[in-house]
Amino acid sequence: MKIFPASLCSAAIIAMASPALSADVNVYSYRQPELVNPLFDAFTAETGIKVNVSFLAKGLVEKLKAEGDRSPADLVMTVDISRLNGIVEAGVTQPVISETLTANIPAEFRDPNNQWFGLTSRARIIYASKDRVQNGEVTTYEDLADPKWKGRICTRAGTHSYNLALTSAVLAHHGELDAKRWLQGVKDNLARKPQGNDRAQVKAIYAGECDIAIGNTYYMKKMLEDADQTAWANSVRIVFPTFIDGGTHVNLSGVAMTKAAPNKENAIKLIEFLSSAKAQEIYAETNGEYPLKAGTKPSDLVASWGDFTADTIPLIDIAKLRAASLKLVEQVNFDE
């Protein structure tokens, strides 16, 4: 099967051909075409270097392991710190030493050993009903376990990577015993069995099934752009909760260089471009996320949701707690 330029890729999985064109950069991506193609098109326009993308729904690590040194992939792009860290722990990446990346990406959003680099961040927030939840009624993640919310919370599966990262943050702040109590408290407050994606929770608020839901910020943009979902979005407001002893939990999208990387020089150029103000603005505007480079502003829509202070626990620490968090979710039978 052939490799297609980013601008021509569909959402289907595209297998990369080998050997790859020496001037090209080849990317395996969990991110959808509409989210990354504008970035790659801008990079090609600026440098003349083409970007070939294989969009994968799953099995990225397994694919890289099977291909070994023969892999045509130079870079991998994904979301969620635990997925990024998992790729590194699988031994299929290599460090990238770049003064540009060190300057552009804050330390808390890159691997201490330069194995991965964040590109944009997203906050895990609360969607609250405008009609049934007062301003200031919920302000912390700890509040979600308060019995006053019994039968009023909706969320996707506790085993989903987004919620596992949040649970890991609770675990990092409060320890295993209190994190388990928190999970049990949230479960006791659920209006229904965890199901669907983040947008499905907002739909449930609109339908009156629950009053608050846990979700990522960028889903608000997605709902506002869909005529069938605009009413859902307009029925809620975004609340940026914090930990009692910290800030708002954030996660990220990121990139890593594969161990095989046949086109390493141009791949580094692409990562550096992705960390630039120009690319950060494109990425943030397209995805409704927050740029990481200092001085780079989010879109007007994202800015309208309000300001928040990100939690300071390093994301690499969050990633390392994933297994412990999954164990807690299973112990309280959160998804049952």
Average model confidence (pLDDT) for the chain?
92
Rounded to whole angstroms, the maximal C-alpha distance in the chain is 61
Contact (Cβ atoms closer than 8 angstroms) between residue 270 and residue 107: no
Phi, psi of 236 (to 5 degrees): -130, 165
Nearest to 256 by CA among 161, 160, 121, 119: 119
Contact (Cβ atoms closer than 8 angstroms) between residue 313 and residue 164: no
Cα gap 310→122, rounded to integer Å = 10
**CATH topology match: 6-121+250-298 vs 122-248+309-331:** yes
Rounded mean pLDDT, 128-156: 98
Among 18-22, 129-133, 230-234, the least confident range: 18-22
Q: Other CB atoms closer than 10 Å to residue 5's CB: what's the count? A: 15
How far does Cα 312 stand from its chain's mean position? 17
Pick the CATH number of 6-121+250-298 from 3.40.50.300, 3.40.640.10, 3.40.630.10, 3.40.190.10: 3.40.190.10
Q: How confident is the model at residue 35 (pLDDT cuts 50, 70, 90)?
A: confident
Question: Is the pLDDT higher at 304 or at 285?
Answer: 304
Would the pLDDT of 21 be above 50? Answer: no
Using CA atoms, how far residue 136 sits from 84, 154, 188, 241, in Å, is 35, 19, 22, 10
Q: What digits encode the pLDDT tens for the residues 79-137?
A: 899 889 999 999 999 999 999 999 999 998 999 999 999 999 999 999 999 999 999 99
Domain chopping of the chain, boundaries: 6-121+250-298, 122-248+309-331
Rounded mean pLDDT, 25-44: 90
Cα gap 79→31, rounded to integer Å = 7
The CATH homologous superfamily for domain 122-248+309-331 is Periplasmic binding protein-like II (3.40.190.10)
| pLDDT recorded at residue 22 | 56
Would the pLDDT of 14 be above 60? Answer: no
Q: What digits encode the pLDDT tens for the residues 159-214?
A: 999 999 999 999 999 999 999 999 999 999 999 999 999 999 999 999 999 999 99
The total number of residues shown for the chain amounts to: 336
Cα gap 53→50, rounded to integer Å = 10
